Structure 1
Amino acid sequence: MTIQHIITAREKDLGGFSVRRLLPYSKQRMVGPWIFFDHMGPAEFPAGEGINVRPHPHINLATVTYLFEGEILHRDSLGNHQLIRPGEINLMVAGSGITHSERERDGVRNAPHRQHGLQLWHALPEGHEETPPAFYHYPSTDIPAVKIDGIAVRVLIGSAYGVTSPVVTFAETLYLEATLAPGESLALPSVQEAALYVVDGEASVDGTLLQQYQMMTLENCGGTAVTAVTATTQKTQDTPATRIALIGGEPLGERHIFWNFVSSRKERLEQAKRDWREGRFAKVHGDTVEFIPLPD
């Protein structure tokens, strides 16, 4: 195992709320197929405020939304209208092109509330980049949960610890989360490229400390030379445990990124820009008035 980089989250304003962005990173733009990693919250919203992301497009990638707290209302140009709640997986495959919005129900927005979760994108292999767009929702009860030496682990995407998630994949892809009590250690599964992120608390890998909101990228994680993560958090009322997320998988080669577009081909990004600017993307069902303009 080789530790490549320690990445500290950067604050990114998304209009009305901020996220902590880890990927893309200047020295390592991707980890396996993963090209985008945002940590939302934990955020406290007063009544009348909250997440309100207007319709916007994607191509040649898949988005993955996973919440620890709160609720998000997803709508898209395929006609899907889905509430995302804690523990569930929403996988939106943009493929040849999709438009979606992320908002909140009036009943949520009109009262004080919290939001906390992760939103990731993974690139699609070249042979699947132009696959027809699709949307998959997996309830919490469908996501495999196991105990490894007493540590609670959920395998969100891919296979690890003897279980396999039902979430659709297009290449070797891994995404899991675990909660460790102070002093507990979890052996990490074998994966060619991986990144470990500390959502809550602190952790260490081979003596290297990771603080909350930091990510460690790893090469040849696990395997015969067992790599373990240890929770180093001192238990307090505010932080009773360490929560980690591990992502990884097989490298897919270079990808170009502009705004919400990801592709192996620069000319495809240019076509997507023209299509959005000229209104050729399909509109979001039930959310057709507003949209996010193409940035300069």
Structure 2
Amino acid sequence: MLDMVIEARQAALSPGFEVRRILPYRLRRMLGPFIFMDHAGPVHVAPAQTASMDVLPHPHIGLSTVSYLFGGQVTHRDSLGVEQIIRPGEVNWMTAGSGIAHSERFEDPNALVGGQLEMLQTWVALPEAAEESAPSFANYQPEQLPIFTDAGVWMRLIAGDAFGLRNDVKTHSPLFYLHVVLQAGARFGLPKGYPERGAYVAKGSVEVAGRVYPAGQLLVFTAGQDPVIVAHEPSTLMLLGGEPLGERFIWWNFVSSRRERIEQAKADWQAGRIALPPNDNAEFVPLPEDRSRPAGSSPAPQALS
């Protein structure tokens, strides 16, 4: 029924700003095309600390970053000249393709009052044919994301195709990504037709096959099985998965099917060949020092996404 349970680990994005990192995991690098997942918040900081949480301009290649908020707001700026405030229920979908730089700043102290800020960010690896596509960005409003409700169940489709729901969020390979809220005792399943499927318990706890799993765990399910997820208490889940893309290499904020492309991206960032956001170019994150590391390891990503 369950292939694996992945415990979220603490990771620091900036001084005083820690997140729970779910993917990648040393025993499970990807789930479908999803290669990275962070859960930030609820964040409790004093107004004076807000600026220290900012994620400065940094680069990406070979992936799409997906930002989704439960609360608060974040300002995104990128090298295409896009400036977009993302709020709860919206989706920011940025496709890096051949290369893009972006920043994420927390510019409204009111959005942090009382631990309002809470967000999830994922990276979706691109199929080989799209890895060098032109960078792009899109913001999708809540009314563009279909919602389904039933007894004790509320569900929003963030991206992909699941349970007969579809939306216009542009993806590059078969996948699903859902925000699900369950009342205590509610029963729920997984979308069919995908070989790799998982459920991240963002809040509360759920029961599967007689065992209870608390918040902060990603449940990775066996292909072909149809598990029943029962809410042990009021709970919030993020369901995700899809078709696997094959091996991907990841180093810092770079993802590619080719090792040599990662090396090129390092050189491009260090040489200034990946443009900074025109409206946020006074500072940036330098390329981390590339010390000798075990195969497959890399510096911690500098982005929430």
Deviations for 1:75-125, whole angstroms, at most 9, x for unmatched residues?
A: 000000000000000000000000000002255479676310100001000
For the 8 Å contact 2:190–2:197, the answer to whether it is kept is no
Residue 251 (structure 1) shift: 0.4
Structure 1 equivalent of residue 81 of structure 2: 79
Q: 1:260, 1:144 → 2: CA distance?
A: 31
Residue 197 (structure 1) shift: 0.6
SS at 1:262 equivalent: strand
SS at 1:120 equivalent: strand
SS at 1:158 equivalent: strand
Deviations for 1:21-77, whole angstroms, at most 9, x for unmatched residues?
A: 010001110000000000011111211223300000000000000000000000000
1:54-133, aligned counterparts within 5 Å? 54-106=56-108, 108=110, 114-133=116-135
Q: 1:30, 1:163 → 2: CA distance?
A: 24
Residue 205 (structure 1) shift: 1.9
For the 8 Å contact 1:48–1:110, the answer to whether it is kept is no
Q: Which of these residues, 205, 226, 246, is aligned with residue 253 of structure 1?
A: 246
For the 8 Å contact 1:194–1:218, the answer to whether it is kept is yes
**Structure 2 unaligned runs (5+)?**
290-305
Q: 1:231, 1:257 → 2: CA distance?
A: 34
1:113-262, aligned counterparts within 5 Å? 114-190=116-192, 191-220=194-223, 226-233=226-233, 241-262=234-255
SS at 2:184 equivalent: coil
Alignment-mate amino acid for residue 105 of structure 1: E
Mean CA deviation greater in 60-69 or 180-189: 180-189
For the 8 Å contact 2:42–2:115, the answer to whether it is kept is no
For the 8 Å contact 2:63–2:96, the answer to whether it is kept is yes
Structure 2 equivalent of residue 20 of structure 1: 20
Residue 188 (structure 1) shift: 1.6
1:40-51, aligned counterparts within 5 Å? 40-50=40-50, 51=53
Give me the TM-score of the superposition, normalised by structure 2.
0.90
Q: 1:274, 1:209 → 2: CA distance?
A: 47
1:261-280, aligned counterparts within 5 Å? 261-280=254-273
Deviations for 1:242-290, whole angstroms, at most 9, x for unmatched residues?
A: 0001100000000000000000000000000000011111111211110
Pick closer, same or farther for the CA change 1:183–1:144 going to 2, 3 Å: same
Structure 1 equivalent of residue 301 of structure 2: none
Q: 1:108, 1:267 → 2: CA distance?
A: 44
Deviations for 1:164-202, whole angstroms, at most 9, x for unmatched residues?
A: 022111000110011111111112211210111111100
Q: 1:110, 1:142 → 2: CA distance?
A: 26
Pick closer, same or farther for the CA change 1:46–1:114 going to 2, 3 Å: farther
Identical counterparts, % of pairs: 44
For the 8 Å contact 1:47–1:109, the answer to whether it is kept is no
Residue 209 (structure 1) shift: 2.2
Mean CA deviation greater in 56-65 or 45-54: 45-54
Matched, 1:286 2:288: no
For the 8 Å contact 1:48–1:111, the answer to whether it is kept is no
**Structure 1 unaligned runs (5+)?**
234-240
Q: 2:270, 2:114 → 1: CA distance?
A: 36
Mean CA deviation greater in 109-118 or 257-266: 109-118
Alignment-mate amino acid for residue 201 of structure 2: V
Alignment-mate amino acid for residue 3 of structure 2: Q
Residue 159 (structure 1) shift: 1.4
SS at 2:26 equivalent: coil
Q: 1:113, 1:185 → 2: CA distance?
A: 29
Q: Aligned pairs, how many?
A: 285
SS at 2:48 equivalent: coil
Give me the TM-score of the superposition, normalised by structure 1.
0.93
Aligned Cα root-mean-square deviation (Å): 1.5
